[in-house]
Chains A and B, each alone.
Chain A
């Protein structure tokens, strides 16, 4: 592994490079994974265009290059499970049933958005779909998702709570407090730490002294695992194992997915602080292209099938963008509504 994250801790699996992880998933399910990764990237590409047209209100945050971590992990959840995504997990939300128009109307602050214009970007959720909205204070979701898991246990529901954190977010007190509390309570919580090299402009070397986030699991007495975050099958399989462990009473798991943020922190950030060779290196490991080669090489899909999936996504997105653009802004007085339940 040469991406500058330092050595893996003993016993960890080297990321497999070109060959993807073994999986029980069949061709149809793997094509679903492909669909969601491609959909994620295309929604973000459309949003990027809309941003340049001045249609996006506020910042635009991309998960470009990290589609495998979002999609693979969310795909391992059951319908009764809950998920708390953070800003680069659009892919997870799409797997969970979020429609592109919901994201677009949010980013464009329209009255038809899931929050009615009260909040922006991917800051929305829907408990019916097992989706808890994030807040911008990183780490805060970890105790909250531990609480979701706690409630599930009290209510006799067989639910697992999954949430995400970046390498930067692991420096917060809430990351520690939440994992520690979940650990002592043996709560069914899975935390995916997306180690993408940078927290805004700060490289991981200035964030933590250890090379591997998963090493922190030892301090909480929980399971930890390092995976190749650009291999959607590895992400899926590791999450599936963690979910099974959680469901079986085995407590929380911290999964570290090694990946890379292929854009700046947000659309306005040109990421000039990232050495260009890192982008080049990681472009070769692009999770979607790697998965395409896998699907074709293993004869799980044909080029025509993959092209058809992409074409269908594009057509669908035309309608979603039109819907968002035609949606009105909310009436200003609606700002007064809903402070209290």
Chain B
């Protein structure tokens, strides 16, 4: 069996969903003939036709609004944001229309909004963001962020099947950089469940997305020093898997939450607060965060590297936290 990239896994997950369920359709900018800016929907137009692979004007709010309307009517729209940064243009439709719709008056909004997030590709301020923090507080949304090939497939499948509005943050740094073998018939991954990516006894890293790979690399290095990191991959950012978070905290008693977001208002802050509230008695050290800086994403490579967490910074911070 050949190796599958993270991008190909998302593509295959959506392709299979289109094959399995005729209610599923794709809508977004340049997703048809061009196959999407990152070619995630390449070949979809030829196979499924322009009724199910809809090229749109540059109108993020209209795209999401139309997806909401179609979802309420029983369809299963999958919206592509060309870069996830552009989701800000559809903020109102997502936060005020889709998220509270079921709560307010009943109809479900089984819609997926997906797109490439994240930095380390020198995309600067409008092509590198991780906007999960903006949406994390909105009741009614689900937010997913796969870090592995298996989860890229399994979570996009689960997102499409879920009856709620789901935001799907796929990391563009991982698109073609990570590969794994997918089984013949991969299964959907359950939404709401974190995954223990590495077992350890000394300190827990709670993370997701591209930062998972930073954490795993750091864990290898630190293992040589006799520090055994436990790494929890959240996978679902909303609703958070509190049980898995608390379980790892109780096991290691030291926690660092690692996320690729500006520090203020980050999801990492929410995870840290939950731990402090619910597991204070188990802690041997303050809960720490490692995040990006509180700046827009800078362009120049040395500045971007300075902005982002990386293995070296993580190893240093873990060493300090271990000796607290």
Contacts and interface: CB of A to CB of B under 8 A. Distances in A.
A181 B66 contact: yes
A218 interface: no
A151 B73 contact: yes
Sorted nearest first, the 4 A-B pairs with minimum C-beta distance are A147-B69, A143-B65, A147-B66, A151-B73
Interface of B: 25, 51-52, 54, 56-57, 59, 61-75, 77, 92-93, 96-97, 101-108, 110, 139-140, 142, 163-164
Interface in A270-323: none
Contacts of B101: 133
Given A142-B65, A147-B66, A178-B65, A340 B102 contact: yes
Given A140-B93, A144-B68, A154-B25, A123 B105 contact: yes
Interface in A141-200: 142-155, 161, 173-174, 177-178, 180-181, 184-185
Contacts of A140: 61, 65, 92-93, 96-97
Given A147-B65, A150-B66, A339-B102, 15 more contacts: A115-B104, A119-B104, A140-B65, A143-B64, A146-B62, A146-B65, A147-B68, A147-B73, A148-B70, A148-B72, A151-B70, A151-B74, A181-B63, A340-B140, A340-B163
B102 to A, nearest CB: 5
Contact of B139 (A147, A174, A339): A339
A170 to B, nearest CB: 15
Contacts of B92: 137, 140, 174
Interface of A: 114-115, 118-119, 123-127, 132-133, 135-137, 140, 142-155, 161, 173-174, 177-178, 180-181, 184-185, 338-341
B96 A151 contact: no
Contacts of B57: 177, 180-181, 184
Contacts of B70: 147-148, 150-151, 154
Nearest to B68: A144
Contact of A152 (B56, B73, B96, B105): B73
24 contacts: A123-B105, A135-B96, A137-B97, A140-B61, A143-B62, A143-B66, A143-B68, A143-B93, A144-B65, A144-B66, A144-B97, A147-B69, A150-B54, A150-B69, A151-B73, A154-B52, A155-B75, A177-B65, A178-B66, A180-B62, A338-B102, A339-B102, A340-B102, A340-B163
B73 A118 contact: no
A118 B103 contact: yes
A143 B61 contact: yes
A143 B110 CA distance: 16
A174 B64 CA distance: 11
